[in-house]
Structure 1
Amino acid sequence: MRLFETRPGDDGLPGHERVLAVLALITGTLMAVVDTTMINLALPSIAQDLNVSASRVVWVTNLFQVTCAAFLLVFAAISELVTRRRLYLFGIGLFVLASIGSAFSTSLETLLVFRALQGLGAAATLSIGPSIYRSIFPSRLLGSALGLSALVVAGGYAAGPTLSGVILSFADWPWLFALNVPLGACALLFGFRALPRETPRQGSFDFLGAMLSISMLASFFLAMDALGHTAPPWQSGGWAMLSLTAGVGFVLRQKRAPFPLLPLVVFQERRFTLAVSTSGLAFVGQGLAFVALSFLYQQELGFSPLQTAWLFTPWPLAIMLVGPIAGRLADRINPSVLSSTGLLLLIAGFVALALVDETTGVLGGLWRMALCGVGFGLFQPPNNREMMASLPAERSANVSGVMSTTRTVGQSLGVALVGAALAAGSPVQATLWLGAVTTLLALGASLARMPLARRAMLERQASSRPD
């Protein structure tokens, strides 16, 4: 395969060493992504088995997400002190141990403790995953590598619900957590043998910045959750105010800290800032769509839950097919052109979904979802390449943390917007139009960086030519 070919002058690992390193990343990512989607389907079974209400059992999912989101930036910074290899292996090990604890939990309180630990383990791996791809593969294959990453994530999202349904049809919910043990063992084995070793950075750790970052992101997620579930205004407003206050303190701290958690100088690079903006707005649209479409298909159009599950399948499947191709193309042509084209297709998909009515059949829903998936698959790997390649390699951990945080924040905001819109009495189709608008804003940011990306591409091509 082209990804594992070695050429003279390549940075990263030699071709034969990339295979096990990539397997470590793939198994670790699949474990975290599949676990998230599987557990959502098991919540009713967990509530019944542990004798708790639906309003309480949702924290099995919420606590995992809050913990993971809150620690993404923190772990990205910690990786510079302990190395990405050690942090990744720690995250996998913690996730596996917490999965075992979750499987043996006999009360909701115990399960929540282990789910929080799972969130910590997931944050440790997801915060630095993209940056490890950059250390494994040569710069000329960065887009192809990130396309592979997109394929793995999309595959996990597509397989999770189906795998959960199959397991729950003949076994109890603890077996969903037990599935993480063999996956985690493989990830640890491959990681110990193949992940690149690094020299830790010397210097102190920004503990105050870490506390402010955790407060900012956790309270933001809780504010979005309260808004999406139509909690009292004082509750969502209070969390939002805490997030804003912590955010201001975080920015001020980063300007003064000798070793900042997130060096704000990275945002002086316009290619990076515009790519981050594009990503955040696009993920708002994706998060919004995944919730809105559940209501649209079941409540408005009368599809069964099984039909709805099938209708969602084309989106991640299209990303699996298109993402690796888009990543490979991004190594050869202007990535912003690919991303902008993908966003145009995604907008078209949103508009097509917003126009569905009671006459729309299953096939009509399938091609609309496939169009969105093709657009998102064409957008994401090239845009991720722009984020990762726009800054020096020594900033990879910071970029990876920002990339993961942007995705999580964007999706959370999208979910909250759907809840707020539906609570205000807006029709479901109106929220899909809102998704089209946020994606249109993402397209504007993508187009704005096109000349910068073209200049960088020409410089890269010039530097790769032999003298």
Structure 2
Amino acid sequence: MSKSPVIHEDGLPQPQRGLAFLTVSLAIMMAVLDGSIINVALPTIAHDQHVSAAHAIWVVTAYQLAVVIALLPLAALGEKIGFRKINLAGLVLFCGASILCAYSPTIEILTFARLVQGLGGAAMMSINGALVRHIMPVRLLGRGISMVAMVVAISAAAGPSIASAILAVSSWHWLFLINVPISILAFVMGYFTLPYNKLNGAKFDFGSAVLNALALGFLISALGSIGTSHNMALIIGQFIIALTAGIALVRRQLYRDMPLLPIDLLRSPVFTGSIIASICGFCAQFIAFVSLPFFFHDVIGYDAVKTGILMTPWPVATALTAPIAGRLADKYSAAPLTTIGMVIFATGLAATVWLPSEAGNYTIILALMLAGAGFALFQTPNNRIMLTSAPRERSGGASGLQSTARLLGQSSGAALAAILIAHSTEFSLALLMYSAAGFALISGCISAIRNRAWQVGIIS
């Protein structure tokens, strides 16, 4: 099979479609895994590099910040030069950075390598939705999006287990080296199968890219500092820089035909509603994700292994429900599916408090599976309507903003959980889970009232 410059208007033919989707899935899997897999090895890395735990945490932070600041610029660049080029370049960068990570002699070089690796991860994540839209025919788009959700869920669930298995037989260096053969395989398949897209020919806006980096970088940094830092002047300063850069970015984008920050897409009520619903949904998710391990470990007294096992039913339920949600999203309108999904999600979150404790861990497992299934039922149709409510030539901007909304929601949820835990006299699971359920219900209400969202498969 040889690559072709032909632009397919309604998905790729088989077997090219399957191989292209596999390429995207492998790229997403690596990007998600490397966002969390290294957490398990941080104590080992800190000891090996002779640095403090606080110093070693920058290995994680550098990756996350690089992803956040690069998503929108790389999505915009994909509309200019092609999504396949961004994906393939991301694979090369990710592979090279993984090798540098594995052989870094100092923590400073390792942190720099993780920053570069984050840029590669951002390249793969920023345009994955746009690529799926060009790979899958419209009638199967929901299934494609659900498969991506399943890959993300399985990768998130398997991360700690994979890290533990590698560390049991080898050193932390292999956490990075394992990316090399996967990256090479994905690059070869992607070179011959990834689709071409129409280019907009717009000049890349470097000034907006800098403002975007300042706005999102300092916002995420400030949110991450809440609850963990007592330096209020630093936190307030970060918020001020983020707000100032954000205002300047919006003003710069207002009169551009192809803005880096997709303001043109945000003028659509259905697209904006989907973005806000996504932010609220992921905020609810991360309030729970951050809080529950503390509850299991510090309040109940479970060890790290048992805590990890109890957290696993959530992503497993998400992975099992995602294909069903995809089929439903291709047949029925988004509003009822996303609304029902958020109601189920909120019920699962609240059930962690409602269900009687006499039954032991079975009640918490049932509640978390309910939450995971509800979130999957929300996420797939919400992402589908988000992508299809944007013109096909703006799918890069839609994909980039979709990923940015997810990160903003996750960061906001983690910050809110930190505030609630830090300022409570004792750990209150009810306060945390009801707060998460509240954000889920807000997301459900927004999903229910979106203009035009009751239509199926809106294609501009």
Same-fold call, TM > 0.5? yes
CA contact (8 A) 1:158 1:313 kept: yes
CA contact (8 A) 2:62 2:111 kept: yes
Matched, 1:412 2:411: yes
**Structure-2 residue corresponding to 1:386:** 385
**Structure-2 residue corresponding to 1:140:** 139
SS at match of 2:254: helix
Aligned residue pairs, count: 451
C-alpha distance in 2 between matches for 1:258 and 1:149: 30
How much does 1:182 deviate?
A: 1.3
Matched, 1:184 2:183: yes
Matched, 1:399 2:398: yes
**Structure-1 residue corresponding to 2:333:** 334
How much does 1:211 deviate?
A: 0.8
With over 3 angstroms needed to count, the CA separation of the structure-2 counterparts of 1:177 and 1:307, relative to structure 1, is same
SS at match of 2:385: helix
Q: Residue type matched to 1:335 in 2?
A: A
How much does 1:258 deviate?
A: 5.6
**Structure-1 residue corresponding to 2:298:** 299
Cα deviation, 1:275-325, whole Å, max 9, x if unaligned, reads 111100000011111110011111111112111100111111111110111
**Structure-2 residue corresponding to 1:232:** 231
Cα deviation, 1:82-115, whole Å, max 9, x if unaligned, reads 2111111001110110000000012110100000
Quote the RMSD (CA, aligned, Å).
1.8
How much does 1:444 deviate?
A: 1.1
**Structure-1 residue corresponding to 2:3:** none
**Structure-2 residue corresponding to 1:286:** 285
* More off after superposition, 10-19 vs 55-64: 10-19
**Structure-2 residue corresponding to 1:48:** 47
C-alpha distance in 2 between matches for 1:370 and 1:258: 44
Which runs of at least 4 in structure 1 moved beyond 3 Å after TM superposition?
A: 256-259, 354-360
C-alpha distance in 2 between matches for 1:98 and 1:357: 49
**Structure-1 residue corresponding to 2:5:** none
Q: Map 1:39-438; keep pairs closer than 5 Å.
A: 39-257=38-256, 259-355=258-354, 359=358, 361-425=360-424, 427-429=427-429, 430-438=431-439
CA contact (8 A) 2:151 2:319 kept: yes
C-alpha distance in 2 between matches for 1:162 and 1:370: 19
**Structure-2 residue corresponding to 1:439:** 440
C-alpha distance in 2 between matches for 1:159 and 1:231: 34
C-alpha distance in 2 between matches for 1:44 and 1:356: 36
How much does 1:413 deviate?
A: 0.8
How much does 1:327 deviate?
A: 1.1
CA contact (8 A) 1:91 1:121 kept: yes
Q: Residue type matched to 1:354 in 2?
A: V
CA contact (8 A) 1:230 1:423 kept: no
C-alpha distance in 2 between matches for 1:171 and 1:311: 27
C-alpha distance in 2 between matches for 1:178 and 1:360: 44
C-alpha distance in 2 between matches for 1:106 and 1:458: 52
**Structure-2 residue corresponding to 1:17:** 16
CA contact (8 A) 2:11 2:133 kept: yes
C-alpha distance in 2 between matches for 1:323 and 1:186: 26
Unaligned 5+ segments in structure 1 are 1-8
CA contact (8 A) 2:330 2:457 kept: no
C-alpha distance in 2 between matches for 1:263 and 1:385: 17
C-alpha distance in 1 between matches for 2:181 and 2:328: 35
C-alpha distance in 2 between matches for 1:71 and 1:214: 7
C-alpha distance in 2 between matches for 1:321 and 1:258: 41
CA contact (8 A) 1:127 1:401 kept: yes
CA contact (8 A) 2:344 2:371 kept: yes
Give the TM-score normalised by the residue count of structure 2: 0.95
Cα deviation, 1:325-355, whole Å, max 9, x if unaligned, reads 1011111011221111110111011111234
* More off after superposition, 342-351 vs 225-234: 225-234
Q: Residue type matched to 1:433 in 2?
A: Y
SS at match of 1:201: coil
Q: Residue type matched to 1:93 in 2?
A: V
* More off after superposition, 40-49 vs 428-437: 428-437
C-alpha distance in 2 between matches for 1:10 and 1:253: 32
How much does 1:166 deviate?
A: 0.8
**Structure-2 residue corresponding to 1:4:** none
Unaligned 5+ segments in structure 2 are 1-7
CA contact (8 A) 2:322 2:377 kept: yes
How much does 1:358 deviate?
A: 6.7
CA contact (8 A) 2:349 2:433 kept: yes
Q: Residue type matched to 2:434 in 1?
A: W
Give the TM-score normalised by the residue count of structure 1: 0.93
C-alpha distance in 2 between matches for 1:356 and 1:248: 46
CA contact (8 A) 1:388 1:400 kept: yes
Q: Residue type matched to 2:452 in 1?
A: L
SS at match of 1:15: coil
Cα deviation, 1:427-449, whole Å, max 9, x if unaligned, reads 34112221111111111101112
**Structure-1 residue corresponding to 2:4:** none
SS at match of 2:331: coil
CA contact (8 A) 1:20 1:193 kept: no
C-alpha distance in 1 between matches for 2:458 and 2:162: 46
C-alpha distance in 2 between matches for 1:206 and 1:255: 13
C-alpha distance in 2 between matches for 1:347 and 1:459: 28
SS at match of 1:256: coil
CA contact (8 A) 2:9 2:134 kept: no
Matched, 1:453 2:448: no
SS at match of 2:169: coil
C-alpha distance in 1 between matches for 2:122 and 2:40: 22
C-alpha distance in 2 between matches for 1:203 and 1:154: 35
SS at match of 2:302: coil
Cα deviation, 1:8-61, whole Å, max 9, x if unaligned, reads x97121122101101110111111111222101111111111111111111111
How much does 1:150 deviate?
A: 0.4
